[in-house]
Amino acid sequence: MSIKSRRSLRLNGYDYRQNGAYIVTVCAYRHANLFGSIEDGVMTPNAIGRIIAEEWQRTAELRPYVGLDVFVVMPNHLHGIIAMFDDEQRPTRRVAPAASNSGQSKTLQARSLGAIVGRFKGKVSRRAHNMPGNRSLMVWQRNYYEHIIRSEKSLQAIREYIAMNPSRWAEDSYYTPGVPDCI
């Protein structure tokens, strides 16, 4: 049995441990509406949606080199802005620098964006699996999407997008009409 090599979604040669800000999107398995529902432009998270919000906020509490900006839990995904900085510089920088030419290991590096998102997803999955009837529930799609925020103008536009996301749910690329809430 051969395992296909997946194309990386990360920027080649970029060091995702360096100071900067990123928008992260993490999707539910098969884009199922696992995290709550939207009615009249307002997101109402269910138990798993509340766990997601709690664990996202804990991310910065547990890691002195991480700061969080706006985020939103949607029925089948999370959007959030995460900033990374040196422990002694918290928080000094809100936008990411240009790509590094130093090269990057193909393995997940400690304190990297990938490690942070991986821990977050793992914590949410473990807590969801401990809920009655959810032992085998697949919570997350593999991987995640990120975008390096390079300017204050981009940061403001992304903040607005995240804040308005519930009211524009029917126009969202992750919206699937007729898909019922799973939980």
Asked if residue 72 is part of any domain, the answer here is yes
Domain assignment of residue 179, yes or no = no
Is residue 67 assigned to a domain? Answer: yes
Domain extent, residue 121, equals 20-167
Task: Look at residue 98 in the predicted model and tell me its pLDDT.
Answer: 41
Angle at 8 between CA 59 and CA 58, to 5 degrees: 5
pLDDT of residue 113 exceeding 60, the answer is yes
Q: How far apart are CA 18 and CA 38, in angstroms?
A: 36
Residue 43, pLDDT > 80, answer yes
Which run of H or E residues covers position 54? Answer: helix 47-62
**Weakest-pLDDT range from 35-44, 56-65, 71-80, 107-116:** 107-116
Tell me if 7 is assigned to some domain. Answer: no
* pLDDT above 80: residue 74: yes
Task: Tell me if 169 sits within 8 A of 41, measured CB to CB.
Answer: yes
Number of domains within the chain? 1
With a cut of 60, say whether residue 20 has pLDDT above it. Answer: yes
Confidence of residue 182 (pLDDT cuts 50, 70, 90): low
Q: Domain for residue 9, yes or no?
A: no
Q: 112, 118 in Cβ contact below 8 A?
A: no
CA distance linking residue 62 with residue 82, whole number of Å: 14
Confidence tier at 7 by pLDDT (50, 70, 90): low
Is 134 domain-assigned?
yes
DSSP labels for 47-106? HHHHHHHHHHHHHHHH-TTEEEEEEEE-SSEEEEEEEE--GGG-S---S--PPPSS---S
Residue 70 counted as domain residue = yes
Q: Judge whether 180 lies within some domain.
A: no
Task: Give the CATH number, domain containing residue 38.
Answer: 3.30.70.1290
